[in-house]
Structure 1
Amino acid sequence: MMRNQLPTGVRDELGDSAQIKEQIVYTIQNYLKNRGFDKVITPVVEYQDVFEDYDAGQKKLFKFLASDGNMVVLRPDMTLPVARVVSSTNISLPAKFYYSGDIFRINRALSGSQDEMTQAGAELIGFDSIKAEQECLVMMMQLSEKLELTGVQIELGIARFALLILESFIDDESQIKEIESALFQKQITQYNKLIEPFADNELYPLLQIWPRLFGPTDEVLDQISDFELPAEIQAEIKELKQLVKWMADKFPAADVQIDLSAKAPQDYYTGITFQAFSAKSSSYLFSGGRYDHLMAHFQNKNVAAIGLGIDIERLVEINQAGKQKQQRTFIYFDDAQWDDAEQKLTEIPNSQLCLADNLEQAKQIVKAQDGKLLDLSGGD
């Protein structure tokens, strides 16, 4: 009998957790609305084709057959559906959108991750200026302040840094993927073995230090300054340096790092990437990047675009961990005291009307809820 159980990977939310999530989502949405972003709502169910060719489409998805005979899925990602909306409508570009909603990915058993997660975010479509990256960084910093996050660290990267470097001297696609995989997963022994055949290449010294190519911005930029890198990478590094300098000027107290040894947060990112971590969370809270080639997945031409995703689940966990449970006040009253009880309800934070028939029942409710009793009836 499964009537009172949930499938693995999903959960009910109630009480403090549900209220905290609602408040966080409201804060984010209100902030983005006030920045001039327009709300977009996409359905939870999409055709599987929407997510093909990207990592989001290769994950274990919740799939089922639609009435038209096509395979549909519960969306595993929010950016691709927004791109679909833009490509299938007459929306005038450039445009800015914000969203919030649940995404679904079947995670490995016992991994500790939920299959259903809530995500909010923003998409800036039709903007090729570095100002788009700057606005995303501003939003991360300002939202961190609004959400009272502490110990926030910004991490910048280049989505195709590894691919473009390896493609400059390796023709075998499978060999490139092997090296990338070992690098990203920090399988150092395997990685060192895979790069041995390129010991005579002028970039071999870079390959040797690559797994440790992360840390403070000045250190990482100094490490790569001596290498003659592919022209396309040089352009990305120039932009990265611009952002580092801009952040130092705009947010001098910010902790900004660079990581050129990690996989991009999403396969469809093509340029600068950025993530934000907190001292109270081991995984990212904000994550985004430029995806100038994604729109061609839905139409005949590319459109410059950049997005920022926000992990609501992690924000709720941090918020809950930092708050003590507030004792609730239960207002007991006689039937003739409704108006007085309603007035007290507006005056006392975290209170509710106690609907018990008598004072003894009211005391039992308060004891079971570990609350406080406010007796308006004048009883003993």
Structure 2
Amino acid sequence: MQWNRSLPNGTKDKLFKEASHSHQLESLVNQHFALRGYHRIETPLIEFEEVFSAMDQKATSRYRFFNEQGQIVVLRPDMTLPIGRVMSTTGIIPPVQLFYSGKVFRVNKDHSGEYNEQLQAGMELIGYPSLKAEAECLINAVTVSQKSGLSDFQIELGHASIYQTIVEALQLSAQEKTRFKWLLQSKNMPAMALFLEKYEAHPLYNFVLKLPRLFGDAGIFEEVISLTNHPEILKAIDEMKDLIQRVQQVYPRQDLTVDIGLVPEMKYYTGITFKGYADRSSDAFFSGGRYDNLLTEFSVDTIEAVGLVFYLDRMYSIFNRQENSDALEISTLIYFENDCLHQAEQLISNQANSRLSLQETLEETIEYAKQWGIPRILIVSNEGIEEVCLASKEDENGEGKNCVNQRTD
């Protein structure tokens, strides 16, 4: 087999529309944060593996290799931790508002549906302890999503301290933590009851027993309050209620749900977490949360932080399922005679989704337009501009036809 003609598992080439749309999404997010006053940050694609010690190795297998000094380095599987490294090794004084974009690399299981190379863009708020930081993240999440063309989506809130409080209170072993995490993620009530048999006398028993079904709209908070009086859990509930009220001041119609038993996606999360789900996808297209202990991974004092990341490849997949997924495709091809280049350049700036034809003859231009499904051709000559509409696929003749015969001086 010729390996130089193949791609490694979990990777792919992006061609034409997908490449263009991905670039436009990345540019949209970058422009949004720049206009909002954020500072851009870029980190290397290759980092020492120790930078990512706060991540679960099993959940995020990495591309690992040795550098010339024999040290283990990886292709970055995450964007937040390198930013934490930057904060701990430079003279940047928080608070600071940062934004970024780039690729991350994670070795996913075969047939998981996820590519190992993923394009991301997002923001980090470093040094902000107030709940205003979480509200800022979610306001940006909704605004960027709507700017990109997504409208039918919901935000799911969770709180990392609830899961962490339970694990600590029940004194679960490493093996029990793995089992408990699976029970919550699978929402398995019968199996949870069996798992908790030895904890029937524990003050959190009734709460944890019902935890797999404690999700839905904000009305679920009242049931939680009736099940437990644990101060850390009630504090988490108050924070989520407060955050929902803040977001709804700006976006009163935004769909917000809560999952009390949500398992933190990353070990470094310490507070409220959030994910965005579109109606056409089961995978979150954005996520984030508070991670106040992140910088302690780099032997520095605790600094409060909240982050938000958009998964741009997933967003493209959602757009691609929509009926208007070809909205960015070329709809007009401009053919020009050799001495009419100036007029053609002026015309292209006024024609949406247009492109100059680089074919030598009009016949070649028509064939090219048919090949790529471009329905309209403008012919620029010394006599003026003529518009040609190509026949639809249903037309038996398959020939071009004049839809407008327009002459200009």
Same structural fold, with TM-score higher than 0.5 when normalized by the shorter chain: yes
Is the contact between residue 225 and residue 234 of structure 2 (CA under 8 Å) also seen in structure 1? no
Is the contact between residue 99 and residue 123 of structure 2 (CA under 8 Å) also seen in structure 1? yes
- Structure 2 residues without counterparts, runs of 5 or longer: 387-399, 401-409
Is the contact between residue 168 and residue 230 of structure 1 (CA under 8 Å) also seen in structure 2? no
Is the contact between residue 48 and residue 57 of structure 1 (CA under 8 Å) also seen in structure 2? no
3-state SS of 2:5 partner: coil
Partner of 1:336: 339
CA distance in 1 between counterparts of 2:362 and 2:83 reads 55
In the alignment, residue 264 of structure 1 is paired with which amino acid? P
Higher mean Cα deviation, 191-200 or 102-111? Answer: 191-200
Residues 1:137 and 2:138 are matched in the alignment: yes
In the alignment, residue 163 of structure 2 is paired with which amino acid? A
Cα deviation, residue 57, structure 1: 7.5
Q: Deviations over 1:221-243 (max 9, x none)?
A: 11111233433333222222222
Is the contact between residue 187 and residue 213 of structure 2 (CA under 8 Å) also seen in structure 1? no
Residues 1:304 and 2:304 are matched in the alignment: yes
Is the contact between residue 51 and residue 57 of structure 1 (CA under 8 Å) also seen in structure 2? no
CA distance in 2 between counterparts of 1:54 and 1:229 reads 31
3-state SS of 2:12 partner: coil
In the alignment, residue 73 of structure 1 is paired with which amino acid? V
Aligned runs of 1:203-352 on 2, under 5 Å?
A: 203-218=204-219, 220-322=220-322, 323-325=324-326, 326-352=329-355
Is the contact between residue 119 and residue 310 of structure 1 (CA under 8 Å) also seen in structure 2? yes
3-state SS of 1:157 partner: strand
Is the contact between residue 124 and residue 307 of structure 2 (CA under 8 Å) also seen in structure 1? yes
Q: Deviations over 1:217-273 (max 9, x none)?
A: 12x211111233433333222222222332344432221111012211221100111
Aligned runs of 1:57-206 on 2, under 5 Å?
A: 59-170=60-171, 172-206=173-207
- Structure 1 residues without counterparts, runs of 5 or longer: none
3-state SS of 2:216 partner: strand
Is the contact between residue 163 and residue 176 of structure 1 (CA under 8 Å) also seen in structure 2? no
Percent of counterpart pairs with the same letter?
Answer: 33
In the alignment, residue 121 of structure 1 is paired with which amino acid? G
Cα deviation, residue 62, structure 1: 0.8
Residues 1:374 and 2:375 are matched in the alignment: no
Higher mean Cα deviation, 98-107 or 7-16? Answer: 7-16
Q: Deviations over 1:111-136 (max 9, x none)?
A: 21111000111111111111111111
Residues 1:361 and 2:364 are matched in the alignment: yes
Distance 1:180 1:7, change over 3 A: closer
Higher mean Cα deviation, 96-105 or 347-356? Answer: 347-356
3-state SS of 1:13 partner: coil
TM-score normalised by L of structure 2: 0.86
Is the contact between residue 121 and residue 308 of structure 1 (CA under 8 Å) also seen in structure 2? yes
Q: Deviations over 1:53-89 (max 9, x none)?
A: 4226752211111112111110000000000011010
TM-score normalised by L of structure 1: 0.93
Greater length-normalized contact order (CA 8 Å, ≥ 6 residues apart): 1
In the alignment, residue 351 of structure 1 is paired with which amino acid? S
Distance 1:130 1:327, change over 3 A: closer
CA distance in 1 between counterparts of 2:140 and 2:114 reads 26
CA distance in 2 between counterparts of 1:74 and 1:176 reads 29
Is the contact between residue 150 and residue 279 of structure 1 (CA under 8 Å) also seen in structure 2? no
Aligned residues: 379
CA distance in 2 between counterparts of 1:57 and 1:238 reads 33
In the alignment, residue 29 of structure 1 is paired with which amino acid? N
Cα deviation, residue 30, structure 1: 1.2
Is the contact between residue 34 and residue 40 of structure 2 (CA under 8 Å) also seen in structure 1? yes
In the alignment, residue 340 of structure 2 is paired with which amino acid? Q
Higher mean Cα deviation, 300-309 or 141-150? Answer: 141-150
CA distance in 2 between counterparts of 1:13 and 1:4 reads 16
Distance 1:360 1:254, change over 3 A: closer
Is the contact between residue 287 and residue 308 of structure 1 (CA under 8 Å) also seen in structure 2? yes
Higher mean Cα deviation, 179-188 or 191-200? Answer: 179-188
Aligned runs of 1:35-54 on 2, under 5 Å?
A: 35-54=36-55
CA distance in 2 between counterparts of 1:4 and 1:173 reads 44
The structure 1 segments of at least 4 consecutive aligned residues displaced by more than 4 Å after TM superposition are 377-380
Cα deviation, residue 376, structure 1: 3.3
Cα deviation, residue 327, structure 1: 4.9
3-state SS of 2:299 partner: coil
Partner of 2:403: none
3-state SS of 1:3 partner: helix
Q: RMSD of the alignment, in Å?
A: 2.2
Higher mean Cα deviation, 202-211 or 270-279? Answer: 202-211
Partner of 2:390: none
3-state SS of 2:239 partner: helix
3-state SS of 1:239 partner: helix
In the alignment, residue 369 of structure 1 is paired with which amino acid? W
Cα deviation, residue 207, structure 1: 2.4
In the alignment, residue 378 of structure 2 is paired with which amino acid? L
CA distance in 2 between counterparts of 1:284 and 1:36 reads 26
CA distance in 2 between counterparts of 1:10 and 1:240 reads 38
Partner of 2:8: 7
CA distance in 1 between counterparts of 2:3 and 2:253 reads 53
Is the contact between residue 319 and residue 325 of structure 2 (CA under 8 Å) also seen in structure 1? no
Cα deviation, residue 304, structure 1: 0.8
